[in-house]
Structure formats: structure tokens, C-alpha cells
């Protein structure tokens, strides 16, 4: 699992649907997730630290967690099926931990309000992320190809000998 941060919310050019963008810590991969208008507003409210006069759904959930001495330990976006992302909330109360199914948009809105980490499974990132910096990706690929091209069988035997001598 990789921790990702909210990079922002954008609108799809064709459909005008909101898309939440999560970005990895290296700022090299971005995960776009289409969300509804209401969830986009809830996320923007959390980003802007807006407090409504009466609790909205996500604020209500945070209030319930607080009243019951529960902590949102983390949010995990764990799978993608038929263009639908799936997430869980990991809740902790005392010594017990529970996982609750959630839409990623709701999970992100709660994570922002509770300062909880947003984690994404590597398989989801591999399947659905987009590169942010194509030039850096290409430079990394080129560097790796050069490294592989300059390896010799002797490099592997020297590594093996170093490893076995260091444990004696």
C-alpha cells in the first residue's frame, strides 16, 4: 500500500463531472477518481476548513466517531472493478479495529476531516494511475536500461560472495 495525498479536484472536460486526484509522495503518479457533485463539495469544504451552521453528513460522522471515542485510523482504496473504486475505513475503538466498506469519495472526505492517511493498494495504482511527470519516468527507464546493459555475470557472483562473507 502507498500513502497518497489529495492533489485537488478537477472537472472532466467532456462530462463536467468532478474528479478527485490523489498523488503519491514522489509526485510521479496520480490516481483520478470520478466522484459526485455532493462528494466534491464535501471534500472542498474540508480542504477549505469550512464549518457549516449544522453538521452535514461527513461532519456528522466525525461527531459520531468523537462521541464514541473511535478513531479513523486510515482509509484504504483497495480495488477497482468495472471502473468502480472500492474503499474501506479502518476504525479503532479501544483495542478493537473494524473495517467498514465505503465509497472512496466519502472515505476521502472523512480522512480530510480527521487528518487520517489515505492508502491505495499497489494493484489499483498500477491499473488506474496516470503519470504526472513523463520526462522523469522516461529518464528513470533509460537509467535502468543502462544499468542492465552494463551488468555482467561477474557482478552477480561478486554480490553473492560479499553477502556470504558478511554473515561469517
Partners of 9 in the β-ladder:
20
Instruction: Spell out the domain ranges in the chain.
Output: 2-132, 134-168
Q: Is 149 helix (H, G, I), strand (E, B) or coil?
A: helix
Angle (deg, nearest 10), helices 57-67 and 104-114:
60
For 4, 87, 131, 149, the CA distances from 140, given in Å and listed in that order, are: 21, 31, 13, 14
Q: What angle do CA 49, 50, 56 make, to 5 degrees?
A: 115
**C-beta of residue 97 within 8 angstroms of C-beta of residue 91:** yes
Could you please state the CATH topology (level 3) that the domain comprising 2-132 is classified under: Bifunctional nuclease domain (3.10.690)
Query: How far apart are alpha carbons 141 and 147 in whole angstroms?
Result: 10
Query: How far apart are alpha carbons 68 and 154 in whole angstroms?
Result: 62
Query: How far apart are alpha carbons 17 and 14 in whole angstroms?
Result: 8
For 2, 11, 93, the CA distances from 97, given in Å and listed in that order, are: 20, 36, 6
pLDDT in tens for each of the 168 residues of the chain? 999 999 999 999 999 999 999 999 888 899 999 999 999 999 999 999 998 999 999 999 999 999 999 999 999 999 999 999 999 999 999 999 999 999 999 999 999 999 999 999 999 999 999 888 666 656 666 776 777 777 777 766 655 554 444 444
Query: How far apart are alpha carbons 91 and 72 in whole angstroms?
Result: 5
Query: How far apart are alpha carbons 33 and 148 in whole angstroms?
Result: 36
Amino acid at each position: 500500500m502507498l500513502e497518497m495525498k489529495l492533489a485537488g479536484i478537477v472537472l472532466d472536460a467532456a462530462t463536467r463531472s468532478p474528479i478527485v486526484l490523489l498523488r503519491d509522495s514522489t509526485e510521479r503518479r496520480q490516481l483520478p477518481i470520478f466522484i459526485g457533485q455532493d462528494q466534491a463539495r464535501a471534500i472542498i469544504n474540508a480542504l477549505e476548513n469550512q464549518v457549516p451552521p449544522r453538521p452535514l453528513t461527513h461532519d456528522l460522522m466525525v461527531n459520531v466517531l468523537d462521541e464514541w471515542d473511535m478513531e479513523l485510523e486510515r482509509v484504504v482504496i483497495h480495488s477497482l472493478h468495472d471502473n468502480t473504486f472500492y474503499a474501506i475505513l479502518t476504525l479503532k475503538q479501544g483495542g478493537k479495529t473494524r473495517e467498514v466498506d465505503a465509497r472512496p469519495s466519502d472515505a476521502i472526505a472523512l480522512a480530510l476531516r480527521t487528518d487520517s492517511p489515505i492508502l491505495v493498494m499497489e494493484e489499483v495504482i498500477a491499473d488506474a494511475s496516470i503519470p504526472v511527470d513523463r520526462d522523469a519516468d522516461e529518464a528513470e527507464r533509460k537509467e535502468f536500461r543502462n544499468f542492465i546493459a552494463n551488468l555482467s555475470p561477474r557482478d552477480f557472483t561478486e554480490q553473492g560472495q560479499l553477502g556470504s562473507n558478511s554473515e561469517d
